[in-house]
Structure 1
Amino acid sequence: MTDTTPMVVESEIKVESDLFNVDEVIATHGTPKHMSNFSFIIKEEEVKEEPSEDVPGSSEQLEFERDIAKLFAVCNIPLSKSQDPFFKSFIETHTGHIVPSHEKLVASIKNDSVGTLDEVRAATINKDIAIRMSEAKDFHGKSYSTVLISPIDGSFNDLPFLANVSELKRLNGSTLEGFLSNTLKEVYGPGFDYHRIKIYITDGGAHSLQASKALKAHNPSIIHLICMAHSLQRVADQARFEFKDVHTLICESRRLFSLPDIKKGLLEDSRGFSMPSSNLSWLELAFFHYVNFEILKDFMISQEDNEGASESLRKVKEIYEGDSIHNDLMLMYVSLNGVHEAINTLEQRPPLQESVKLIDDLLENVQLEPFKSLLNASLKKNTGLKRIQSIAANLSKGSKEWMKYKFAPIINCDNRQ
């Protein structure tokens, strides 16, 4: 049983860990191009609420009503909050627009949902498709699953369409398979031909593997691929366990960077220093510390005890005064920067041949243990990869039969702008 909540989800997702963070999933550029990729899901009971008085308005007011409905959906805010007296007064005072009734907001989202599904059908009519499923968690730890669909036709290389997103009360192979089955029925009707599904991409969790087996009962030839970006990220994540001093340095420095005196002192360094962005991954922070090693080391060692952060400063000084930290950071940068760059490149979704070559090159270039063994084991576990590599080889021969796979995806995350 699924419990759906009103939300809008964009198909632009960046991988950072084993599970997507739904805060990244529930986002939008706000442009018509991207809004057309959204699926709006409404709780049935929300429609039953007693309607408030409708207030007629101009076309400008109607546009405002559609926009504010999307705002609530994008931010995952319950629509009932729109009727809060303070919220209504604030919006009406500062925008000059009347906040629409709860019923109007629900109707607006449902109308947009119909248009979205029509666009998915139109873009994939009579075409083979790739399906990407991911498990996500929101700020409160609730589990969600998403279904993204894109045509496999040799020319489509845009953001995939998000066909559905729903909270799953029980997360297992059966609920995931049922969620996908219901989504396909909603989009294409009960007579959907499962043989149209050529590629099925998941994040590699046990539940998604179980769902894959159920899906293959409908179509044994489906290529089930574990998201390559996730596979590589899991290899890179091992670094924090192998380089414990680096991990401690990153964690304690992050606390120190938040202190005004520390931040001011670093920015005043004559060698030029920029504070790290707040959205850097752990591996990116490690590279940041390597590139700025001398500046950070000199500054931290010169600091006196800082009130409220003396323990963090003590740990950082101790690491910088040791003999191994620079070598550890350098070893990580030399050995894992290729993995990091590969993830970023895959998130831009280059043509299939380039993506496969990227993976093949990593197998040759990553030599540091245990990362080499982890990479080999991860790719060996990804049983669909061999078939994808075979398709890429046929593309390199100019085989027309396989040209529809030119832009076939191998990830279920996407970071293109």
Structure 2
Amino acid sequence: MPKVSTCSSRSARLRSFVQEFGDKVFSTDGKIFYCKLCGVKVTAEKRFTVQQHCKTFKHGKCLSRLSTKDSRQSLLFKNSSTTSSSSSSSSSASPSSMNNGSEFSKDLCQWMVSSNIPLEKLHNQHFRQFLETYTSHPIPSESTLRKNYLSTCYEDMLNKIRTSVADNKIWVSLDETSDVDGRYIANVIVGTLKQDQPGERFLLDCEVLERANHSTIAVLFDNSMKLLWPNGIQRNNVLLLVTDAAPYMKKAAKGLRILYPKMVHITCLAHALHRVAEEVRGHFPDVDRLVSNGKKIFIKAPLRVQKFKQEAPLLPLPPQPVVTRWGTWLDAVAYYCENYTAIEKMFNGFDSSESTSIKAVKDLFSTTLAQNLAYIKSNFCSISGAITRLEFVGTELCDALDTVKSIENELNRTRGEISDRIKTKIESVLHRNAGYSTLCKIADILSGKLATFEDDTELSPNDLTFFKYAPVTSCDVERSFSKYKTILSDNRRSFKFENLKMHVVINCNCNSEN
């Protein structure tokens, strides 16, 4: 007598359980027995184990909700109802496609991660009760979302990026930083290059580097392209690489050009202007001390803040520039120049014994300081505005390069010994940026001028048309680092990096303004 197949007997048993306990509650694909109300797999080796599941508190609560269900729609998730019968028979469809609860859990995970709401918030009973009340769905636990749905949301996001990029020409921007745990973190941004409008941009990858050097950067770049095009890297579609001016970045880009022959490498022009601004700061130590100590006077000093607002109600508090935040030091100089008399009177009214910063600022006030402020504002503060314009998303290449050339021309018209050093600095910064001259020639061609490429570029005439909205700054990758550090806050340090990576990629791309 022929033996009955174990697989077929198991499939028949599971289908019989579905018929017995109801296809609105359970479903099967012949291998897995799935509770659609609870959103979990159920052991179904025997009828007894199914009955045990039906007696659990969670299942009973879900059944109660099902029996009292009305036409109320979910206020948080559209088109989500308590349960719905599958459009296909339970014997031919998989539980994931039939189960509305799993879709709800996936949407819930996507919503929380993209909104940067910690999944641990699901442990809060008030939050869970609110969701259960207004969605009529059983709310999964934090571990269920993290283990079963986070990776699915991440893969969906990668597929969305791949679909958007497809066969388009692209630009890539990458940079590295260190996080609070001392790891070298590198982010890779990709964006599409279009001929008639700004393209989309995405955070493609976030990885930990063993060390920051040209070798690890080159490997990261190539692996990211494999992630983007898993069926084969389209090397001729990579037209532009934007990085900072670190020597190892330049060395990595030089090596990558062998594999990506059409790729133009440019170092961030906003970084370049910031380095010029730093050169200005270095030549005026007294002004730098004024800016540095001026912001310290009002830190954790509510009485001084109150006095300042009483005596100068229309005057904002002194700015608090950050050296690494491009152009903010020059903005602070402009503030002190415009309000010098009021600031001097205000600071001289403070008691020097209360703070060393007050004493330091009082000692700085002089005719020389006032004249230096006027000189900087008159000749160099326009650099800050240029950096801001370069940071705009969707700027045409010609406009961005005109901004840089305008600053270069303004600096060439300035006078004085210090001015000569600043001119030398900007000339040096732009000269060492090999991709800058290439993009200038491309911009000339797109503007109707003739230009000749001196390097071995392999760009075709049609390739040049895709540079119309090419970026010249690495602002996008810097913004992704800001989001990374926001997610990895002090009370969320227990992240495994693999989970952290998925959180960052989903969050950045769900909230990107393309």
- Are residues 143 and 187 of structure 1, via their aligned partners in 2, closer, same or farther at CA, if it must alter by over 3 Å? same
The AA in structure 2 aligned to 1:319 is: L
- Are residues 292 and 217 of structure 1, via their aligned partners in 2, closer, same or farther at CA, if it must alter by over 3 Å? same
- What secondary structure sits across from 1:266 in the alignment? helix
CA shift for structure 1 position 93: 7.3
Match among 435, 447, 456 for residue 384 of structure 1:
435
The AA in structure 2 aligned to 1:405 is: F
Task: Report whether the alignment pairs 1:344 with 2:392.
Answer: no
| Residues 54 and 100 in structure 1, CA contact (< 8 A), matched pair in contact too | no
Output the CA distance in 2 between the equivalents of 1:266 and 1:411: 38
CA offsets 1:144-182 (integer angstroms, 9 cap, x no match): 111111112223425511111112121111111111111
Match among 272, 288, 298 for residue 345 of structure 2:
298
Match among 177, 188, 191 for residue 232 of structure 2:
191
- Are residues 245 and 141 of structure 1, via their aligned partners in 2, closer, same or farther at CA, if it must alter by over 3 Å? farther
CA shift for structure 1 position 301: 1.2
CA shift for structure 1 position 142: 3.0
| Residues 295 and 320 in structure 2, CA contact (< 8 A), matched pair in contact too | no
- Are residues 140 and 290 of structure 1, via their aligned partners in 2, closer, same or farther at CA, if it must alter by over 3 Å? farther
- Number of the residue aligned with 1:362: 407
- Are residues 327 and 139 of structure 1, via their aligned partners in 2, closer, same or farther at CA, if it must alter by over 3 Å? farther
- Number of the residue aligned with 1:411: 473
- Are residues 106 and 247 of structure 1, via their aligned partners in 2, closer, same or farther at CA, if it must alter by over 3 Å? farther
- Are residues 164 and 127 of structure 1, via their aligned partners in 2, closer, same or farther at CA, if it must alter by over 3 Å? same
| Residues 266 and 434 in structure 2, CA contact (< 8 A), matched pair in contact too | yes
Output the CA distance in 1 between the equivalents of 2:467 and 2:183: 35
- What secondary structure sits across from 1:248 in the alignment? helix
| Residues 69 and 108 in structure 1, CA contact (< 8 A), matched pair in contact too | no
Output the CA distance in 1 between the equivalents of 2:361 and 2:440: 45
Output the CA distance in 2 between the equivalents of 1:179 and 1:165: 9
Task: Report whether the alignment pairs 1:285 with 2:336.
Answer: no
CA shift for structure 1 position 341: 1.0
- Number of the residue aligned with 1:109: 150
- Number of the residue aligned with 1:88: 123
CA offsets 1:193-232 (integer angstroms, 9 cap, x no match): 2121111111111221121022111133321100111111
Output the CA distance in 1 between the equivalents of 2:475 and 2:188: 12
- What secondary structure sits across from 1:384 in the alignment? helix
RMSD: 3.0
| Residues 202 and 208 in structure 1, CA contact (< 8 A), matched pair in contact too | yes
- What secondary structure sits across from 1:364 in the alignment? helix
- Are residues 94 and 181 of structure 1, via their aligned partners in 2, closer, same or farther at CA, if it must alter by over 3 Å? same
Output the CA distance in 1 between the equivalents of 2:338 and 2:200: 34
- Are residues 69 and 362 of structure 1, via their aligned partners in 2, closer, same or farther at CA, if it must alter by over 3 Å? closer
The runs of at least 4 aligned residues of structure 1 exceeding 6 Å deviation read: 53-59
- What secondary structure sits across from 2:308 in the alignment? helix
Output the CA distance in 1 between the equivalents of 2:256 and 2:409: 34
Task: Report whether the alignment pairs 1:330 with 2:371.
Answer: no
CA shift for structure 1 position 375: 0.6
| Residues 192 and 200 in structure 2, CA contact (< 8 A), matched pair in contact too | no
CA offsets 1:319-369 (integer angstroms, 9 cap, x no match): 11x221111112222222221111100100421111111111122111323
- Are residues 89 and 404 of structure 1, via their aligned partners in 2, closer, same or farther at CA, if it must alter by over 3 Å? closer
Match among 295, 306, 315 for residue 264 of structure 1:
306
Greater relative CO, 1 or 2 (CA 8 Å, sep 6+): 1
| Residues 265 and 434 in structure 2, CA contact (< 8 A), matched pair in contact too | yes
| Residues 123 and 142 in structure 2, CA contact (< 8 A), matched pair in contact too | no
| Residues 295 and 319 in structure 2, CA contact (< 8 A), matched pair in contact too | no
- Number of the residue aligned with 1:171: 212
- Number of the residue aligned with 1:223: 264
For structure 2, the residue ranges without an aligned partner over 5 or more in a row are 1-55, 63-73, 78-103, 133-138, 323-327, 451-460, 480-511
Output the CA distance in 2 between the equivalents of 1:149 and 1:55: 45
- TM-score normalised to structure 1 length: 0.76
Output the CA distance in 1 between the equivalents of 2:57 and 2:204: 31
Output the CA distance in 1 between the equivalents of 2:309 and 2:126: 39
Task: Report whether the alignment pairs 1:312 with 2:347.
Answer: no
- Are residues 151 and 89 of structure 1, via their aligned partners in 2, closer, same or farther at CA, if it must alter by over 3 Å? closer
| Residues 88 and 99 in structure 1, CA contact (< 8 A), matched pair in contact too | no
Output the CA distance in 1 between the equivalents of 2:358 and 2:112: 46
Matched ranges for 1:23-62 at <5 A: 62=105
- Number of the residue aligned with 2:188: 147
For structure 1, the residue ranges without an aligned partner over 5 or more in a row are 1-52
CA shift for structure 1 position 403: 2.8
The AA in structure 1 aligned to 2:171 is: A
- Are residues 156 and 162 of structure 1, via their aligned partners in 2, closer, same or farther at CA, if it must alter by over 3 Å? farther
Please identify the structure whose Cα radius of gyration is greater: 2
- Number of the residue aligned with 2:282: 241
| Residues 244 and 267 in structure 2, CA contact (< 8 A), matched pair in contact too | yes
Output the CA distance in 1 between the equivalents of 2:263 and 2:298: 49
- Are residues 348 and 375 of structure 1, via their aligned partners in 2, closer, same or farther at CA, if it must alter by over 3 Å? same
| Residues 135 and 144 in structure 1, CA contact (< 8 A), matched pair in contact too | yes
| Residues 54 and 101 in structure 1, CA contact (< 8 A), matched pair in contact too | no
CA shift for structure 1 position 106: 4.2
CA offsets 1:81-140 (integer angstroms, 9 cap, x no match): x39xxx824764795665723242244332222222223222222222111111223344
Match among 172, 176, 179 for residue 135 of structure 1:
176
Output the CA distance in 1 between the equivalents of 2:125 and 2:374: 53
